Chain A
Amino acid sequence: KQEVTQIPAALSVPEGENLVLNCSFTDSAIYNLQWFRQDPGKGLTSLLLIQSSQREQTSGRLNASLDKSSGRSTLYIAASQPGDSATYLCAVTTDSWGKLQFGAGTQVVVTP
C-alpha cells in the first residue's frame, strides 16, 4: 500500500530564507507527483505537477524535484515571504483514474 510521508511536519523561518520541504513515498509506481498549498479552512491550490518521467518542475520561486527510484521529492521555495505561510501537501497519483494519495503536510510559517 502506498504511503506518503512529509518531513518536517512544521517549519518556521524568517522572511527571505529559502524553504526546503521533503516528501517521500513507498511505492515508486506512480503516474505523477503534485505539490499543493492549503490555507486555513480553504481548499487546495495546485503548485506544481511532475510527471513520472520528469526530474523537476519550476514555477517562479518554486522548484520541485522528483527521484522516483528513491521515492523522494523536494519542494524548494526561494526567498520566502510571509504570504508563503500555509500548509504544503504533496500527493502521488496511484492509478489511471487519477486517484491521489496525500501526505500529512508541512505547516510553514514565514515571519516578517
Chain B
Amino acid sequence: GAVVSQHPSWVICKSGTSVKIECRSLDFQATTMFWYRQFPKQSLMLMATSNEGSKATYEQGVEKDKFLINHASLTLSTLTVTSAHPEDSSFYICSARDPDTIYEQYFGPGTRLTVT
C-alpha cells in the first residue's frame, strides 16, 4: 500500500529558531501534498496545499511567511516553521494524494513540535 513518511517524528526547539519537517511519499509520486495541524483534542485543520513545481496555496489565516512550504520533487514536500513561538507547538500531519486514485489521500504519521 501507499506509504507516507514524516521526519522528524518529534522535535523540541527554542523560541525564535526555525524547524523543518519533511514529508515523503515512499512508493508513489505525489503531485499534490497537504499540510495539516492538530491541537490537542481538536480535529485537523488544513494549513496549505502543496503542488510540485509551484507555490503552495495557503488557507485563510495561515501566515505564508511563517510556514514556508516547498514541494521540491514528486516525492518530497517540506514545511519550515520560521521564528517558532510556543503557540506554534502542535501536531503537524502531511498527506499525499495518489494521482492514480480518485481523491484518495495517504497520511503521514505526524510530527510533534514543542517550542520552549
Contacts and interface: CB of A to CB of B under 8 A. Distances in A.
A104 B49 CA distance: 20
Interface string A13-41: 00000000000000000011000100001
Interface stretch (A56-64, A65-73, A74-82, A91-99): A91-99
A46 B104 contact: yes
User: For the side of the interface on A, what is the size category?
Assistant: 20 to 34
A97 B103 CA distance: 8
Contact of B34 (A49, A89, A99, A104): A99
B81 interface: no
Interface of A: 31-32, 36, 41-46, 49, 51, 89, 91, 93, 97-105
B67 interface: no
B43 A104 contact: yes
Given A99-B46, A102-B43, A46 B106 contact: yes
